[in-house]
Structures are given as structure tokens and as C-alpha cells.
Amino acid sequence: MMKLFINGEEKSVASERLGPLFSELGLPAALLLVEHNGQALHRSEWPAIKLAEGDRLELLSVAAGG
């Protein structure tokens, strides 16, 4: 387990990659915008990101409505 800061909150997680992390957290990856350590990520960059102890993630969920 490692500690990450997700939306400002410290969490212990087992996942070392973004895709598995989203599954672990029960989040729909198709609706997320991701910032990793202060840098906004394009969806194509997600597979290359290896998470490390203390990383900071901001996860925003996209919603449509009227």
C-alpha cells in the first residue's frame, strides 16, 4: 500500500497505475479529468504514469446536463 493525496485527501491505495486506481476507487475513467502532481494529463498519457508514494492527484468528474 502507498499513500497518495487525492483531491487533497490522503488515501492508502494498492494500485500503481491510473487505470487500476480508478477501478480501486470505483470511479468511471471515461468521465474523469486528471491532474498528476500539478500537471494536467491527456488521456493518452495515463498508461505511462507510474504512481509513487506521496503523489498528488486531482480527479474531476465530467457531468453533462441542462
What does the DSSP assignment read for 21-62?
Answer: HHHHHT--GGGEEEEETTEEE-GGGGGG-B--TT-EEEEEE-
Average pLDDT, the chain: 94
Distance CA 33, CA 46 (A): 11
SS3 20: helix
We report the CATH number of the domain holding residue 24 as: 3.10.20.30
**pLDDT at position 47:** 95
pTM value surpassing 0.85: yes
- pLDDT exceeds 80 at position 53: yes
Q: Is residue 66 part of a domain?
A: no
Domain containing 10: what range?
Answer: 2-61
11: β partners? 4
DSSP state of 18: H
The number of distinct structural domains making up the chain is 1
